[in-house]
Copies of this chain bind each other. A is one copy, B any other.
Amino acid sequence: MREFELIDWIRQLPGPSRPDVLTGIGDDAAVLSVPAGFDLIVSTDTSVAGVHFPHGTAAYDVGWKSLAVNLSDLAAMGATPAWVSLALTLPKLDADWLKGFFAGFQALALPHRLALIGGDTTRGPLAITITIHGFCPNGQAVRRRGARAGDALIRIGRLGLAAAGLRWQLARPESERASPLLDPFEQQCLQALNRPEPKIGMDAVLRTHASALIDVSDGLLADLMHVARSSGVGAKVDLDAIEEFGWLSEHFGSSEARDMVTRGGDDYALLAACAPAQVDLLLVAAKALGHAASVIGCFEAEPGCRIHHHGQIDTVGGPSGYEHFT
């Protein structure tokens, strides 16, 4: 397969019919139309082999996850996704790998009516950069900085399972990483790591009822602190309200489970701040879509983050999540 053939092959992949894509793949740039009355929401994420996913991860999972992390950023603005641009850097043109990658990519893109509008294919160490575009009605994007003291802290999606999945994944020989595990909980954690479900489909509810939103990619505490700091408030988290903390404690002990839940990266859950009167509306909408959702704390006037666990309180100040450079 040559580069021109790859681009032709990508062009003929099935995609949604979107009248807002005036010119798609195949010119110097895409020509697009943002509907009147809407703001454009744009986010970019890079996934590098050996950094964001272990070497030997199945191509399908790489395609799924590299799109999922971008969809998660749009979900965290209350936006409706529309278009993606895909920059694919590959060590070689391997038709089987590419088929797997695009099968995973399309499995997420098609149900969400995402159009692939362009990108780039280059030779180099395996890495994927996606820029995703979506819409919000004018002025309704939900930002990090709207949390108020007294708001409930809601999580939508599981915490810590991806960190556990990574632990199990790395313990296996590289050649076996694409094959399934037998234990159902290990399997669930591996699924959380490799095929995170972005919390798309709640955009209208979140725009109406959430006062602040973020997606948890660098760990619960680090991302919660981003919301708290930019909103000028603090937060309280009740660890015992997060049921997966209990599950992980059984496998790894309480101390490590706590690390996984509060500092593990790659969760792609949403954290929402929400006035107490609106909490039920939000939880019902999340559960209707099959997402684990619950109140796990609240926002308070006092800065910093306090973790409650079995009657004990730990106070956390600075960022403490996953850092790419160490």
Contact = CB atoms under 8 A, between A and B. Distances in A.
B31 A41 contact: yes
A325 B43 contact: no
Interface stretch (A84-92, A149-157, A240-248): A84-92
A3 B321 CA distance: 11
A30 B43 contact: yes
Given A46-B129, A87-B46, A118-B44, A141 B34 contact: no
B46 A2 contact: no
B129 A42 contact: no
Interface in A38-75: 39-52, 73-74
Contacts of A119: 44
Nearest to A122: B46
B2 A323 contact: yes
A202 to B, nearest CB: 14
A64 to B, nearest CB: 18
A93 B323 CA distance: 12
Contacts of A41: 29-32
Given A129-B129, A143-B27, A144-B28, A42 B323 contact: no
A181 B4 CA distance: 36
B85 A42 contact: yes
B48 A124 contact: yes
Q: How large is the interface on A (under 10, 10 to 19, 20 to 34, 35 or more residues)?
A: 35 or more
A40 B43 contact: no
A51 B124 contact: yes
A191 interface: no
B127 A76 contact: no
A23 interface: yes
A34 B40 contact: yes
Contacts of A131: 42, 44, 85, 87, 131
Given A122-B52, A324-B3, A29 B46 contact: no
B87 A123 contact: no
User: Considering the complex of A and B, which 6 residue pairs feature the smallest CB-CB distances, nearest first?
Assistant: A48-B124, A29-B43, A28-B76, A129-B129, A131-B131, A125-B125
7 contacts: A28-B215, A29-B77, A31-B41, A32-B40, A32-B42, A34-B40, A42-B83
Interface of A: 2-4, 6, 22-23, 26-34, 36, 39-52, 73-74, 76-77, 79, 83, 85-87, 89-90, 92-93, 117-125, 127, 129, 131-134, 136, 138-139, 141, 143-144, 213-215, 230, 319, 323-325
